[in-house]
Amino acid sequence: MNVLLIGSGGREHALAWKLTQSKNLKTLYIAPGNPGTARCGKNIDIGVNDADKLVDFARQKSVGLVVVGPEDPLAAGIVDAFEAAGIKAFGPSGAAAKLEADKAFAKQLMRASSISTAEARIFERFSDAKAYIATRDEPVVVKAAGLAKGKGVFVCDDPSDGILAAEKVMCDGIFGSAGDKLIVEDKLLGEEASILAFVDGRNMYVMESSQDHKPIGDGDTGPNTGGMGAYSPAPVVTEKMMNQIVREILVPTIDGMTRNGTPYKGVLYAGLMITAGGPRVLEFNVRFGDPETQPILMRLKSDLLEVMLAVCDGTLDQVSLEWDPRPTVCVVMASGGYPDSYEKGKKITGLQDAEQLDDVIVFHAGTAAKNGDIVTAGGRVLGVTAIGQTIADAKTRAYEAVDKIKFDGAYCRRDIADKAIRRKGN
Ligand code: AMP
Ligand code: GLY
């Protein structure tokens, strides 16, 4: 079967790498892809939001399955466009993608389905948001309701910073129309976890747990990013906790989406805070996480293409997945300055040395090929991912590989997986 994968990040390189292991894959096309995906299939020069061109291309190449990586085309209804053309597409409809694309919609769904999340208020006018935040003396979390590339959330320990954040989002328009609505919610305390599940409309298959590292700095300091590293599994999610998450969060969400007339299909990603009082939803995403996908898929032993087809066909109940029990750690190498402005076009060296290490895969994200070299082309540049006997071992291997890779201004966190290591005591 020919498959078209849409996207160009580290997540897509991991998806492409895994799809090439499928026994039923004929040709993999990636639009637009990156130098990493070019090693897995054919990169096609069509942008992720160019639905008409992508549908035409899929028709021409007799594509049997389209896999959509990022949230923007999903929110714009690209899955609906492929399905209207009679082409199977992995991902939710545009209406169901509101679960991520409109945090106000997600809050309302959670409220209606009694799903635990932070207490929140939704505002459409800055003056109202300001007046409300001014009454608060506890920390607040201010969020743009729309899509903001993982950067639309401000955790403000001092509520007066919350007012400044609300002003940037609603008045200065730093996220454009994504900031037309604002969520102000209570700050939750605890450890985060990402739980991703395949959902086919009725059935669900929960993947192994993982944990992201959102802030730019070690010790979870500084502004939020798209994610600076991840590992799998997350020991904070015990078996008992996982059962509770499935029962109290995932199942009611899928049921709620069906009741709402927007049945869910694709990957449902619940970003959770594991608080002293149990798991609480921070956000839903309607796609694979980036960088969580890199460590999760490195542990998947089963055929990803088969599972994705089962999601599209509504036969997920007939699928069972096998996982490598060994833990994985992914360290993101970023351009100096990210998540603010940064320079591009820096030559990357040491990639081959890093890849020659056992049990290491270097997933490309913001890279480009230029005159025979690989150069930086984005904020998050590489996801250096390793598997080990223990989480500490996986961490050591990942950083050993990181240290072989050089580019001007390269930055990474040095504490990826430390929370898991402390918890496990190894
Ligand atoms: P979101 O995109 O909504 O997941 O938010 C991005 C990040 O902001 C999360 O991964 C958390 O680190 C942080 N965050 C979001 N909401 C809250 C909250 N209510 N309490 C504490 N931290 C939060
Ligand atoms: N790692 C966070 C995200 O994919 O949104």
CATH of the domain at 389: 3.90.600.10
CATH of the domain at 164: 3.30.1490
In a domain, 413, yes or no: yes
CATH of the domain at 33: 3.40.50.20
The end-to-end CA distance of the chain, in Å, is 44
CATH of the domain at 248: 3.30.470.20
pLDDT reported for residue 151: 81
Same domain flag for 14 and 88: yes
Q: Which residue CA neighbors atom 10 of ligand 1 most closely? A: 214
Q: How many H-runs (helices) and E-runs (strands) does the chain carry?
A: 15, 22
Q: Which residue CA neighbors atom 3 of ligand 2 most closely? A: 289
Say how many Å lie between the CA of residue 16 and the centre of ligand 1.
29
Distance separating alpha carbons of residues 413 and 354, to the nearest angstrom: 18
**Spacing of C-alpha 355 from chain mean position:** 24
Distance separating alpha carbons of residues 426 and 213, to the nearest angstrom: 20
Instruction: Name the token pair of 221.
Output: 């300091």
Find out whether 204 and 290 touch, Cβ atoms under 8 Å. Answer: no
Say how many Å lie between the CA of residue 249 and the centre of ligand 1.
17
Same domain flag for 344 and 265: no
Angle between helices 126-134 and 159-170 (to 10 degrees): 180
Say how many Å lie between the CA of residue 100 and the centre of ligand 1.
13
In a domain, 118, yes or no: no
| 71 ligand 2 Cβ < 6 A | no
Task: Compute the residue count for the chain.
Answer: 426
In a domain, 406, yes or no: yes
Domain range enclosing 151: 125-180
Please report, in tens digits, the pLDDT of each residue of the chain (426 residues total). 999 999 999 999 999 999 999 999 999 999 999 999 999 999 999 999 999 999 999 999 999 999 999 999 999 999 999 999 999 999 999 999 999 999 999 999 999 999 999 999 999 999 999 999 999 999 999 999 999 987 899 999 999 999 999 999 999 999 999 999 999 999 999 999 999 999 999 999 999 999 999 999 999 999 889 999 999 999 999 999 999 999 999 999 999 999 999 999 999 999 999 999 999 999 999 999 999 999 999 999 999 999 999 999 999 999 999 999 999 999 999 999 999 999 999 999 999 999 999 999 999 999 999 999 999 999 999 999 999 999 999 999 999 999 999 999 999 999 999 999 998 764
pLDDT reported for residue 425: 61
Say how many Å lie between the CA of residue 292 and the centre of ligand 2.
7
Contacts of 121 (CB under 8 A, 6+ apart): 132, 183, 184, 185
Same domain flag for 163 and 241: no
Last residue in a domain, options 142, 158, 180: 180
Residues with CB under 6 A from ligand 1: 118, 141, 143, 153, 155, 185, 187-188, 192, 214, 224, 271, 282-283
In a domain, 403, yes or no: yes
Atom of ligand 2 lying closest to residue 150 CA: 5
Burial grade of 279 (CB within 10 A; 0-12, 13-18, 19 or more): buried
In a domain, 378, yes or no: yes
Nearest bound ligand to CA 192?
A: 1
| 10 ligand 2 Cβ < 6 A | no
Q: Which of 71, 257, 231 is nearest to 152 (CA)?
A: 71
Q: Which residue CA neighbors atom 5 of ligand 2 most closely? A: 289
Same domain flag for 129 and 25: no
Say how many Å lie between the CA of residue 154 and the centre of ligand 1.
8
Give the count of alpha carbons within 13 A of 114, CB side only.
2
Same domain flag for 247 and 226: yes
Contacts of 387 (CB under 8 A, 6+ apart): 298, 299, 324, 326, 327, 328, 359, 394, 397
Same domain flag for 76 and 150: no
pTM of the model: 0.96
Distance separating alpha carbons of residues 58 and 83, to the nearest angstrom: 11
Q: Which residue CA neighbors atom 16 of ligand 1 most closely? A: 282
Q: Which residue CA neighbors atom 18 of ligand 1 most closely? A: 187
Atom of ligand 2 lying closest to residue 290 CA: 4
Q: Quote the number of domains for the chain.
A: 4
Give the count of alpha carbons within 13 A of 187, CB side only.
17
Say how many Å lie between the CA of residue 412 and the centre of ligand 2.
17
Last residue in a domain, options 180, 209, 224: 180
Same domain flag for 311 and 205: yes
In a domain, 120, yes or no: no
Atom of ligand 2 lying closest to residue 289 CA: 4
Q: What is the DSSP string of 350-374?
A: -HHHHHHSTTEEEEESSEEEETTEE
Nearest bound ligand to CA 152?
A: 1
Which residue carries 């102000």 as its tokens? 184
Same domain flag for 211 and 156: no
Say how many Å lie between the CA of residue 142 and the centre of ligand 1.
9
pLDDT reported for residue 150: 77
Same domain flag for 236 and 132: no
Nearest bound ligand to CA 148?
A: 1
In a domain, 108, yes or no: no
* 3-state secondary structure at position 4: strand
Last residue in a domain, options 288, 318, 348: 318
Say how many Å lie between the CA of residue 401 and the centre of ligand 2.
23
Find out whether 223 and 339 touch, Cβ atoms under 8 Å. Answer: yes
| 285 ligand 2 Cβ < 6 A | yes
Same domain flag for 268 and 342: no
Same domain flag for 337 and 382: yes
Distance separating alpha carbons of residues 383 and 369, to the nearest angstrom: 17
In a domain, 417, yes or no: yes
Same domain flag for 207 and 309: yes
Out of 74, 147, 194, 272, give the residue to mutate to test ligand 2, the one with the largest number of ligand atoms within 8 Å of its CB: 194
